[in-house]
Structures are given as structure tokens and as C-alpha cells.
């Protein structure tokens, strides 16, 4: 029987963990997970942990979900993978049709990759290439928002605005203009409406002056996750869509985190009733099972690449583009959404979670308690240096997986977390806040 300790030590020597200063694992080794079920993870020593962050925002319907497992097992017996150039298969066709049907009208063409950052890269390249093919080759820049996060490959990092991830690589990154965020939190403002107005005024002025050099505006609709769950009103998206369309600039909606019901609607864009030119999806798309990402593009974009010349096509690929197993997991996820009427059920669940979390909202050390659908976040006042790390460690000691961003603590559990487990999450989180 191998214990947690053995795997943790071997992992420290052999595995280079993501988003981690490996030296910190001298004090707090990684936790080796032996198995998982529903919202709970179990280690080799029999301890359990409530996955209150959905394993980095990917898990929707719990670990070891029997329906997704069954779909994958069936798919394994048929086809695991075939290259998508020159070939196709039923899961990728069905998934593309169903995603288009669920997305804002007009997003009828699905291009696949494996991770969120790759979806960002695809949208950026497609946008630039589209304009070039329209004779507007000078559109070589992308407008991005303060606090925005779109992934960490070199192109995606260039449109991301998180200093900790960017600064080391600054000389490698193209300089793209940063516009004010409509989220009060990311703009360090107190008034939500004022933040939206200021961001819109800045966007309008920017586009009037720089539309000729700007291919696209890239945004995270409604919630800027990595900025600390910075939330803003749909009216920013409504007006941003009008302004970008009016100035001949694309709108890229990065719904890698917000998609698949996180904000209460299936896609966050629905709450503004807009159709972006590109919709980037990943994370929840496979329910947290397999890496898959997708860019849905409009027919207008698609047609600009449709030509006799090879080089006018979108010559971008990843080895695992449209992987059959990942697509089948995504189909199982869509089946669950449909068969269980998940969005409607989540509406009640979000209300319950909000009510159950009221003792946190009312805590004297808690500021800016906020909720957008299935995401709850709040800031802890007078947080000490190293707050996020020590809070996470105390959470683990109480069987909770929490990863604060700065002084922001957030809950993004799988939708299937029981009310009893959510109550436990609230009560133990309060215990950590109280002890500080």
C-alpha cells in the first residue's frame, strides 16, 4: 500500500507542478489524490477534501460521474482519436452542431484545440487573418481589459493583464493596449455603475482613435476570474458589442471560465443578448474530464477563409484537435444539461447558496461579498502577506480545497455539491476567517 507521503515526495522530485514555486513544497508537499467521487477528493491516507474550486474551475458534475464515465467507456470501444485533418467523426460533428445551437445565434463554425490558452491563440490569429484578407492588414493589435486573463502561452499572455504571470516574460510580449475594466474591483473603484460608465467611455474614445490598428477587443464576459472574481453588469457587453461592430473591430468573448452555466445562464453572453465574433470555450466543456477547447466563429469569419487558395485557409492545428474521447465527454455533459434541466435547477441552487453564505457576507472582516450565478466571492479585510497560501493551508486542514486570489476567497464547487456539503463549506470557511 503506497501512502500519500511517498507519492508527494516522488512528485516533488519528478513532477514540475503548474503555477507553483516548487521550493514551497518543502514545507507543504503536494497532496496525492488516490480517487475522487462527486465533490470530494480522497488521498492515500484516507483523508478527504471538498473540491470547492471545481479543480481549477473545470468540474461541473462531480468527479467519477457515472454518466460521463459510461459515455467515455462506450467511446473507448469505438474510437479514441483520429487526426481531424482529412477525417471526421460522429462526436466532433454532433458536438459542433450542439454547441452552435446553444451559443448566441450566428456562431456556426467550431474550431478545436486542447486548452484554453490555445483557444485564445486561435481567436487572436483568426481575427488578424480575417482583417488581412479584407485588406486591413494594419489591424495588428488587440484591445484588452485591465485585470483580464486569457491564458499563459506567449500570445495569450500578451493580452492578459496579471502582473505576476506577465512580468518575467515582458520582453517577449507584444504591447497591446489595456483599457479600463468595467468591474469595479479590477478598476479599484467603489461604485459598480461608475466603473461600467468609465470603461465604456474609455472604450469609445479608444476605438474612435485606434480602430484602424485594432483587430479585436478581448473580454471575459461578466466575471474576470483571475482578477479575483471581478464582476460587472451585462450592459458593458451590450454597448461594447455596439461600439466594436460600429468601428469594424471584432469582439472575442473568452467564456473559458464563464461558459457552461457558471454565471447562471448557459453562456454569460446570453445575459447581454450579444453575439461575439468569437466565443472561446474550454474548462467545463468536458465537465472537467479531458482537455478540450473550442472557438466558435461566425459565418462571416468562416467565409473569409473559404477560397481556392490553400494559404487563405486557417492553417492552424494541434495534434489532438477534436479528440474523440474529449468530444464524447463534452456530449455527455450537454446531455446532463438537457436531461436534468440543469440551468433551471441551478437558478434555485444559486439562491440557496447565496442564502446559506449570508453569515460570511455579514462577517465583520468580510468585504465585497458578491455572487454571479454559481460563483461566490468575497474579500477578507486586513489580509496579511502570504494570506492566500496560509488560508489555503488552513482550508486543507479543514478538508476544504480553497485557493484564494490575493485576499479574495471564492467558491466555485461542482454544481452537484449537496446542500449539506455547501453548509459545511460555509461553516468551516467562517472558522478560518474567525481564527485570523
Residue ranges in contact with ligand PLP by CB under 6 A: 115-117, 120, 149-151, 220, 225, 254, 256-257, 282-283
CB of residue 255 to ligand PLP, shortest distance in Å: 8
Q: Which is nearer to ligand PLP, 19 or 77 (CB)?
A: 19
Q: Which helix (H) or strand (E) holds 339?
A: helix 324-339
Q: Which is nearer to ligand PLP, 225 or 322 (CB)?
A: 225
Q: Which is nearer to ligand PLP, 149 or 378 (CB)?
A: 149
Residue showing the smallest CB distance to ligand PLP in the complex: 116
Q: Which is nearer to ligand PLP, 60 or 433 (CB)?
A: 60
CB of residue 148 to ligand PLP, shortest distance in Å: 8
Q: d(Cα 274, Cα 282) in Å, to the nearest integer?
A: 20
CB of residue 221 to ligand PLP, shortest distance in Å: 9
Q: List b or e across 168-188, with b for residues whose CB sees 16 or more CB atoms inside 10 angstroms.
A: eeeeeeeebeebbbbbbbbbe
CB of residue 128 to ligand PLP, shortest distance in Å: 18
* Contact call for residues 225 and 54 (beta carbons, < 8 A): no
Q: Which helix (H) or strand (E) holds 435?
A: helix 419-435
Q: Which is nearer to ligand PLP, 92 or 285 (CB)?
A: 285
* Contact call for residues 104 and 269 (beta carbons, < 8 A): yes
CB of residue 149 to ligand PLP, shortest distance in Å: 5
Q: Which is nearer to ligand PLP, 43 or 414 (CB)?
A: 414
Mind giving me the DSSP string for 6-71? HHHHHHHHH---TT--GGGGGTSPPPPEEEEEBTEEEETTS-EEEETTHHHHT-SS-BT-HHHHHH
CB of residue 124 to ligand PLP, shortest distance in Å: 12
Strand segments (E) across 255-381: 278-281, 293-297, 366-372, 375-380
Measuring CA to CA, how many Å separate 224 from each of 212, 229, 309, 328? 27, 5, 39, 29
CB of residue 399 to ligand PLP, shortest distance in Å: 25
Q: Which is nearer to ligand PLP, 9 or 405 (CB)?
A: 405
Query: What is the signed CA dihedral for 107, 113, 114, 119, rounded to 10 degrees?
Result: -60
408 class by beta-carbon count within 10 Å (0-12 exposed, 13-18 middle, 19+ buried): buried
Q: d(Cα 156, Cα 294) in Å, to the nearest integer?
A: 15
Q: Which is nearer to ligand PLP, 159 or 202 (CB)?
A: 159
CB of residue 117 to ligand PLP, shortest distance in Å: 3
CB of residue 88 to ligand PLP, shortest distance in Å: 24
Largest CA-CA distance found in the chain, in angstroms, rounded = 67
Q: Which is nearer to ligand PLP, 375 or 409 (CB)?
A: 375
Amino acid at each position: 500500500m503506497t501512502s500519500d507521503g511517498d507519492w508527494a515526495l516522488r512528485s516533488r522530485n519528478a513532477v514540475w507542478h503548474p503555477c507553483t514555486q516548487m521550493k514551497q513544497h518543502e514545507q507543504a508537499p503536494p497532496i496525492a489524490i488516490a480517487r475522487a467521487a462527486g465533490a470530494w477528493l480522497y488521498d492515500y491516507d484516507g483523508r478527504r477534501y471538498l473540491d470547492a474550486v471545481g479543480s481549477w474551475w473545470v468540474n461541473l458534475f462531480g468527479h467519477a460521474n457515472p454518466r460521463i464515465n459510461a459515455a467515455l467507456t462506450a467511446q473507448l470501444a469505438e474510437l479514441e482519436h483520429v487526426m481531424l485533418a482529412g477525417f471526421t467523426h460522429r462526436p466532433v460533428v454532433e458536438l459542433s452542431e450542439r454547441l452552435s445551437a446553444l451559443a448566441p445565434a450566428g456562431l456556426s463554425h467550431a474550431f478545436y484545440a486542447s486548452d484554453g490558452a490555445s483557444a485564445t491563440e486561435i481567436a487572436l490569429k483568426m481575427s488578424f487573418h480575417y482583417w488581412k484578407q479584407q485588406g486591413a492588414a494594419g489591424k495588428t493589435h488587440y484591445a484588452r481589459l485591465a485585470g483580464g486573463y486569457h491564458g499563459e502561452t506567449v500570445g495569450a499572455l500578451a493580452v492578459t493583464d496579471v502582473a505576476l504571470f506577465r512580468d518575467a516574460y515582458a520582453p517577449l510580449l507584444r504591447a497591446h493596449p489595456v483599457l479600463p475594466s468595467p468591474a469595479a474591483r479590477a478598476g479599484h473603484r467603489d461604485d459598480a455603475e461608475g466603473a461600467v460608465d468609465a470603461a465604456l467611455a474609455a472604450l469609445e474614445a479608444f476605438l474612435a482613435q485606434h480602430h484602424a490598428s485594432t483587430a479585436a477587443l478581448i473580454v471575459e464576459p461578466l466575471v474576470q476570474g483571475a482578477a479575483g472574481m471581478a464582476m460587472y453588469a451585462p450592459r458593458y457587453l451590450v454597448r461594447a458589442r455596439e461600439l466594436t461592430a460600429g468601428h469594424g473591430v471584432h469582439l472575442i468573448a473568452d467564456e473559458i471560465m464563464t461558459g457552461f452555466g457558471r454565471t447562471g445562464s448557459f453562456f454569460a453572453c446570453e445575459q447581454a443578448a450579444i453575439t461575439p465574433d468569437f466565443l472561446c470555450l474550454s474548462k467545463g466543456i468536458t465537465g472537467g474530464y479531458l482537455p478540450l477547447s473550442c472557438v466558435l466563429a461566425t459565418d462571416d469569419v468562416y467565409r473569409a477563409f473559404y477560397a481556392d487558395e490553400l494559404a487563405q485557409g486557417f492553417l492552424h492545428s494541434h495534434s489532438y484537435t477534436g479528440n474523440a474521447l474529449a468530444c464524447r465527454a463534452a456530449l455527455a455533459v450537454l446531455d446532463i444539461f438537457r436531461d436534468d434541466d440543469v440551468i433551471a435547477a441551478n437558478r434555485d441552487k444559486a439562491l440557496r447558496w447565496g442564502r446559506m453564505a449570508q453569515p460570511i457576507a455579514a462577517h465583520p472582516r468580510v468585504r465585497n461579498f458578491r455572487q454571479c450565478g454559481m460563483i461566490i466571492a468575497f474579500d477578507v479585510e486586513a489580509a496579511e502577506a502570504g494570506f492566500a497560501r496560509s488560508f489555503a493551508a488552513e482550508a486543507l486542514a479543514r478538508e476544504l480545497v480553497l485557493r484564494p486570489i490575493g485576499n479574495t476567497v471564492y467558491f466555485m464547487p461542482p454544481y452537484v455539491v449537496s446542500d449539506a456539503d455547501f453548509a459545511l463549506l460555509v461553516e468551516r470557511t467562517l472558522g478560518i476567517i474567525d481564527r485570523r
